Amino acid sequence: MTDTLVQGLASLLGGKVSGEVIIFIISMIPILELRGGLLAASPALLNVPILRAIPICVIGNLLPIPFILLLIERVLNVMEGIPGLGKVAVWVRQKADKNKGQIEKFGFWGLVLFVGIPLPGTGAWTGSLVAALLHMKFGKAIGAIFCGIVMATVIMSLLSYGLLGALFA
């Protein structure tokens, strides 16, 4: 699914904006995040050089995180009072509740691993949501999420540029 979304966005925006802008936008989108940005940047799609792609994807992935940590509870509370959006707010809270056990159990390092291991449903957005709903201290949450993004960057760079790069070289 991620590959299809990344390819769709890359082809939709391709020719209209640079590859760098495309990977920045993809890196800010929930579900896709840095992982999708690095996949799009790879030699298989946009062929953005890795040393240019990494900082763009990291910054794009980090940009929404402080806002999520600081505002998500208020946003969900408001959404719950609006017909139609209340169900979305409940779904978001349930998604966070489903993932909070492992983060609660291992604290900082649980959040690092949750954000850093590229599996469906994990990443900086969901990690930020869970950290906010667990009332984790802002600095601790930002630090863990940043470490997780660095970990995901290493993993996805090896996959996107190593494995895919070898296939498309």
pLDDT above 90 covers a percentage of the chain that reads 60
- List pLDDT tens digits, range 35-47: 999 989 988 889 9
Predicted confidence band of residue 97 (pLDDT cuts 50, 70, 90): confident
Verify that 103 and 58 share a domain, yes or no. no
Provide the domain count of the chain.
Answer: 2
DSSP for 131-164, written as a single string: HHHTT--HHHHHHHHHHHHHHHHHHHHIIIIIIH
pTM above 0.75, yes or no: yes
Burial class (CB in 10 A: 0-12, 13-18, 19+), 101: exposed
Query: What token pair was written down for 94?
Result: 């349930």
Verify that 55 and 117 share a domain, yes or no. no
**Residue 58's domain spans which residues?**
2-62+155-168
Verify that 41 and 102 share a domain, yes or no. no
- List pLDDT tens digits, range 125-162: 999 999 998 999 999 999 999 999 999 999 998 888 87
Predicted confidence band of residue 166 (pLDDT cuts 50, 70, 90): low
Q: What is the pLDDT of residue 1?
A: 60
Verify that 56 and 73 share a domain, yes or no. no
- List pLDDT tens digits, range 76-91: 999 999 998 999 999 8
Verify that 87 and 13 share a domain, yes or no. no
Verify that 41 and 70 share a domain, yes or no. no
Verify that 48 and 80 share a domain, yes or no. no
Verify that 35 and 69 share a domain, yes or no. no
Verify that 83 and 159 share a domain, yes or no. no
Verify that 37 and 74 share a domain, yes or no. no
Predicted confidence band of residue 123 (pLDDT cuts 50, 70, 90): very high
